[in-house]
Structure 1
Amino acid sequence: MTRFSDIAAFEAALSALPVADTAARSAATARQSRLTKPPGSLGRLEDIAVFIAGWHGVERPRIERGRAVVFAGNHGVAARGVSAFPAAVTVQMVANFTAGGAAINALADSAGLTLAVVPLDLDRPTADFTRGPAMSEDECLAALNAGAAAVGDADLLVLGEMGIANSTAAAALCAASFGGTGADWVGPGTGVDANGVARKVETVDAALARHAKHLRGAFEILRRVGGREIAAIAGAIVAARHAEVPVILDGFIGTSAIAPLARDAPAITEHCLAGHCSAEPGHRRLLERLRLRPLLALDMRLGEGSGAALAAHIVRAALATHDGMATFAEAGVSGG
């Protein structure tokens, strides 16, 4: 299991990323050419099957231990009026996840995914990042390790989040990683009005000005303008890469966790699928910057890993056709 003993260990893990098994990818590609269909006729389903084959290291992969993980954290910046809901909702929704009553519970179950919920110091919100770093170095490292520990023995990982005000943190992470102002990345999140959006823009711009001299590496960006649950997703993404576990990213907030990583190590996206493009306006721009093409676009904006869990159905369908179809030779069909 990957563990980051210190900042240097995290940076070393990010700089030495394993690559997909090229032999398995080639074998899977060859199998696709032998299946009873015109070449390329299943479109992206064929690409997904080859993608999973490369990370599983086998020609005919299967998902047997698919896992969804929802990380939850509270944000001090919520006190600035950047969310339509109070911070207490984070704790209440964690209770709802645990009781099985949320959308992610239903969607994970329908996609054959086990679900874990990881609350991160909900009684201790991060600091208001317009006044100083959101987290200390130790707090950020602990969040990264909480994410890494959640990977376990999964063979497909869906990552979700819950945290009132975390769309503001996500916008700040994107701006800090790829440039721009608050106005370039901020959206309505859970449904704030025009005044709420303006407060979010002002908050992000204030954070960027406060930390401008320090936003020079993935770890510092995460700890200064991120949140515990977002840092945990980042830790899970890096740990999953070292375990060669493919990841399905969710919406704007979940995907923002990879932005600082990709700034330092663009190859970090190679084991990731974008589950969907959410209705949050910054998400499309972020996916384009990461060169990730979403599997779905259903105007969702819930978070929780909901869009990624839905996309897991597509992954299963891709593997079902890849593994279950007959070859031309097996079916006695001409043209193979």
Structure 2
Amino acid sequence: MREFDHAAAEAARARQDQLTKPPGSLGRLEELALFMAGWQGRARPRLERAQALVFAGNHGIVAQGVNPFPAEVTAQMVRNFRAGGAAINQLCRVAGAELSVLPLELERPTRDFTLGAAMEAAEVQAAMQAGATAVDPGADVLLLGEMGIGNSTVAAVQAASGFGGQPADWVGPGTGAEGAILRNKLRAVAEGLARHRPDSAAATLAAFGGREQAAICGAVMRARQLGLPVILDGFICTAAASVLLRDDAGALAHCLIGHESAEPGHRRLIAALGMRPVLSLDMRLGEGSGAAVALMVLRGALACHDGMATFAEAGIGAGVD
């Protein structure tokens, strides 16, 4: 696994200190430039190629009445992605990201985790491998997103299993659950936690699913091997990636959280991870949308880092403030 290149980050910091601005005046944009420098291993990081991957899966937990939409909507949305009609298509176009959508055995949902394990170990491995294989080694940054009816329930039980708390701490409306449907989500998460006690990343994915969550984990791990910075999307994507912390406390060091989702559990999860999202725009769509918007901010950060003149280049005295 690649590690953060502190020498490259220090060289980037030295450049920041010479640019025509008061030190630190670009705030988080400067931090993002240093993050990218350290993970790309270059003092002047680049964003020539941004890859966006959206993984889609179906879930047996839908049988418990946890979602107001049927599982068939997952495949319908995949078709919409491929036709260019979804929000993520528009945002990737504006942000300059190459989008790929990868459905994972939609005709064969994972099993209901209240009744048993959602996946066998071989299914977990296959989904993780699909995620890893999809990563472009030539990319400069990787954006991750997901689609799957029922997967906010999976995210809630994954987060509760990994970080503790009660189901109500993690369960939110998702695609619009309220009333009896929201109560079904809470019950399903409680039953899942009572049935399963996983103690590793693979065991967590096997216990609760889903295939798209496992693919996200595989992609995150492959990106780390490549030293490729990752932008995670919202609650579901972050909860999936956080499963990896059960095996390695530093597994997400190369990841940014693109935005703080309006889904209630995401703020709690971000706090548990000790991470800071790039944006907070009250989004809760999923499908990588928040990661794509964060990419636009990241492009701004690197444009300033690379394109601004130094005081010497601009002929400005060092005493200017």
TMscore range, shorter length:
over 0.9
SS of the aligned residue for 1:268 comes to: coil
**1:278 matched to 2:257:** no
| Superposition map of 1:1-336 within 5 A | 17-152=1-136, 153-212=138-197, 215-335=198-318
Instruction: Indicate if the aligned counterparts of 2:199 and 2:246 stay in contact, CA closer than 8 A.
Output: no
- Is the contact made by 1:49 and 1:319 (CA closer than 8 Å) also made in structure 2? yes
Tell me, what secondary structure is at the counterpart of 1:161? strand
1:94-148, Cα deviation, whole Å (9 max, x unpaired): 0000111000000011000000000000000000011111111111000001110
C-alpha distance in 2, partners of 1:73/1:255? 16
Tell whether the 8 Å contact from 1:181 to 1:204 is kept in structure 2 after alignment.
Answer: no
Q: Distance in 2 between matches of 1:269 and 1:315?
A: 18
In structure 2, C-alpha distance between the alignment counterparts of 1:270 and 1:169, rounded to whole Å? 23
| Preserved contact between residue 188 and residue 280 of structure 1 (Cα < 8 Å) | yes
Q: What amino acid maps onto 2:140 in structure 1?
A: D
Residue 303 of structure 1 aligns to a residue whose secondary structure is coil
Aligned residues of 2:117 and 2:208 also touching (Cα < 8 A): yes
Give the SS at the match of 1:257.
Answer: helix
Work out the CA distance in 1 between the residues paired with 2:188 and 2:166.
Answer: 11
Structure 2 residues not aligned, in runs of 5+: none
Residues 63 and 316 in structure 1, CA contact (< 8 A), matched pair in contact too = yes
How far does the alpha carbon of each residue in 1:230-255 deviate from its partner, in whole angstroms, 9 at most, with x for none? 11001101110110000001010010
Q: Distance in 2 between matches of 1:196 and 1:293?
A: 31
Q: In the TM superposition, what is the alpha-carbon distance from 1:226 to its structure 2 partner?
A: 2.2
> How many pairs are equivalent?
318
Q: For structure 1, which runs of at least 5 residues remain unmatched after alignment? A: 1-16
TM-score scaled by length of structure 1? 0.93
| Aligned residues of 2:242 and 2:252 also touching (Cα < 8 A) | no
CA deviations on 1:61-94 (whole Å, 9 max, x unpaired) are 1111101110000001111110111100000000
Q: 3-state DSSP class of the match of 1:158?
A: strand
> Distance in 1 between the 2:62 and 2:155 partners?
13
- 2: CA distance, partners of 1:223 / 1:265: 18
Please give the alpha-carbon distance, in whole angstroms, between the structure 2 residues aligned to 1:218 and 1:131.
20
Partners of 2:21 and 2:245 lie apart in 1 by 37
Aligned residue identity for 2:134: A
Amino acid at match of 2:21: K
Instruction: Give the alignment's TM-score, normalised by structure 2.
Output: 0.97
Distance 2:43 2:302 in 1: 11
Alignment check: 8 A CA contact 1:34 1:328 kept: yes
- Mapped to 2, the partners of 1:328 and 1:263 lie a distance apart of 47
Retained in 2: the 8 A contact 1:170–1:226? no
Alpha-carbon separation, structure 2, partners of 1:194 and 1:245 = 42
Moved over 2 A (4+): none
Identity %: 60
Aligned equivalents of 1:154, 1:138: Cα separation in 2 = 29
Distance in 1 between the 2:158 and 2:312 partners? 52
Map Cα deviations across residues 201-253 of structure 1 (whole Å, 9 max, x no partner). Answer: 100110111113xx111110011112000110011011101100000010100
Let me know the Cα RMSD of the aligned residues: 0.9
- Give the deviation of 1:161 after TM superposition: 0.2
Letter in structure 2 aligned against 1:115? L
* Post-superposition offset of 1:269: 1.9
